[in-house]
């Protein structure tokens, strides 16, 4: 059953928008489009929300009012709305959404009014990078998945820091594996990347390892299946920058174990990567980055030779 009022707020704007879209879809299934009223932009004021809640409606069934932009409101403007929420209209649900940042926050008086109405207040917060593995493990548990040690960190390393994408990957894993599944870091690495993505990372790692035969084979395979050169250059550049950073830290006296712990990748992958960097020449890694930058500029136009020829020539130089 729907509650009389909801306040969904926070600085994870994607999740706030997602919850608004989900609520609107549920409301339209429940009452049809005629039973859903939306206030947004300049029309979404406390006074307009109060007027909408008190307006007579000819529709039958449950009524929904969705109000976007509550982060712009002030406590001083909430007298009438607060009074209405103290005794909310029957068969009506009002949902307030606030996309917050450091300067714009849903007023605390609105929080209190929604709770007084018997409603729910939910915060959608962006996790800090160091908080993400814990957040991932909690979301996985809510979906019926158990992540072994290192698996949450592996998912962040594989998918990135966007919480929406992390949640989508967890949902896909839950659907594929069923309830009560347990995942290791190796399972996550295997299951969350498509074959093209795995090959692209393998290509980048082969460049760092200066494995010319693997570089040539993987590059031609990826281009043959339609991967864009710009995407491959991005993957290689990212890995080379990581390698340059690892080389600098090792040169500064950090141990290989210290460097591995700081890398945002599964333990076995980190071990291989550090070993490849240790076998490489730091000057060669820096030179490879310079060659790659030249190719990126060239790939935007004005090249004298076909792009695949230019790319393979560059890859041969950096893996020599």
Domain CATH number, residue 171: 1.10.8.60
Q: What is the pTM of this model?
A: 0.53
pLDDT for the residue 36: 93
User: What is the rounded CA–CA span in Å between residue 204 and residue 219?
Assistant: 10
Average pLDDT rounded to a whole number, residues 75-82? 96
With a cut of 60, say whether residue 303 has pLDDT above it. no
**Looking at residues 49-76, what average pLDDT do you find?**
89
Count of domains forming the chain? 3
pLDDT at site 23: 94
Residues 227 and 112 in one domain: no
- Spatial contact of 68 and 40, defined as CB atoms under 8 Å apart: yes
Asked if residue 301 has pLDDT above 60, the reply is no
308 and 213 inside one domain: yes
Question: What integer pLDDT is reported at residue 315 of this predicted model?
Answer: 86
Do residues 207 and 309 both lie within one domain?
Answer: yes
Q: Give me the pLDDT at residue 111, please.
A: 97
Does the pLDDT at position 194 exceed 60?
A: no
Per residue in 211-225, is it b (16+ CB within 10 Å) or e — as a string? beebbbebbeebbee
Q: Kindly state the percentage of the chain with pLDDT values over 90.
A: 37
CB atoms within 10 A of CB 125: 14
The answer on 143 and 99 residing in a single domain is no
Claim to verify: residue 232 and residue 305 sit in the same structural domain: yes
Report the distance separating Cα 1 and Cα 179, nearest Å: 26
Dihedral in degrees, nearest 10, Cα atoms 238, 242, 247, 251:
130
Which residue among 191, 208, 243 closes a domain?
191
Reported as a pLDDT band with limits 50, 70 and 90, residue 43 is: very high
Structural domain range at position 133 = 129-191
Let me know: does 27 contact 57? Beta carbons within 8 Å.
no
**Per-residue pLDDT, 198:** 63
Q: What pLDDT, on the 0 to 100 scale, is given for residue 266?
A: 66
- Are 237 and 299 in a shared domain? yes
Residues 96 and 25 in one domain: yes
Per-residue pLDDT, 66: 96
H or E segment and range at residue 308: helix 307-318
User: What average pLDDT does the segment 167-193 reach?
Assistant: 82
User: Quick one: 118 and 143 in the same domain?
Assistant: no
For the segment 171-183, the average pLDDT, to the nearest whole number, is 84
- The answer on 203 and 310 residing in a single domain is yes
Q: In this predicted model, what pLDDT tens digit does every residue of 93-108 receive, in sequence order?
A: 999 999 998 889 999 9
CB 75 within 8 A of CB 107: yes
Residues 200 and 314 in one domain: yes
From CA 22, how far away is CA 11, in angstroms rounded? 18
């Amino acid at each position: 059953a729907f509650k009389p009022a909801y306040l969904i707020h926070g600085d994870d704007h994607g999740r706030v928008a997602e919850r608004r879209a989900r609520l609107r879809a549920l409301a339209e299934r429940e009452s049809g489009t005629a039973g859903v009223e939306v206030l947004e932009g300049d029309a979404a004021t406390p006074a307009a929300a109060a007027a909408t809640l008190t307006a007579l409606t000819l529709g039958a069934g449950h009524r929904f009012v969705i109000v976007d932009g509550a982060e712009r409101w002030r406590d001083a403007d909430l007298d009438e709305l607060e009074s209405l929420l103290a005794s909310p209209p029957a068969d009506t649900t009002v949902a307030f959404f606030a996309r917050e940042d450091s300067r714009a926050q849903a007023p605390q008086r609105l929080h209190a009014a929604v709770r007084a109405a018997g409603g729910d207040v939910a915060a959608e917060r962006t996790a800090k990078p160091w908080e993400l593995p814990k957040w991932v493990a909690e979301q996985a548990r809510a979906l019926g998945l158990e992540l072994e040690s290192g698996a949450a960190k592996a998912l962040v390393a594989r998918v990135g820091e966007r919480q929406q994408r992390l949640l989508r990957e967890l949902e896909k894993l839950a659907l594929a594996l069923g309830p009560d599944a347990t995942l290791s870091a190796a399972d996550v690495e295997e299951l969350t990347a498509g074959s093209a993505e795995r090959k692209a990372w393998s290509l980048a790692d082969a460049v760092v390892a200066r494995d010319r035969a693997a570089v040539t084979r993987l590059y031609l395979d990826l281009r043959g299946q339609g991967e864009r050169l710009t995407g491959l250059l991005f993957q290689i550049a990212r890995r080379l920058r990581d390698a340059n950073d690892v080389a600098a830290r090792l040169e500064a006296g950090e141990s290989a174990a210290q460097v591995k712990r700081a890398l945002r990748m599964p333990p076995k992958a980190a071990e291989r990567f550090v070993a490849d960097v240790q076998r490489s020449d730091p000057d060669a890694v820096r030179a490879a980055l310079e060659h790659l930058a030249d190719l990126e500029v060239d790939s935007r136009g004005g090249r004298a030779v076909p792009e695949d020829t230019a790319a393979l020539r560059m890859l041969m130089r950096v893996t020599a």
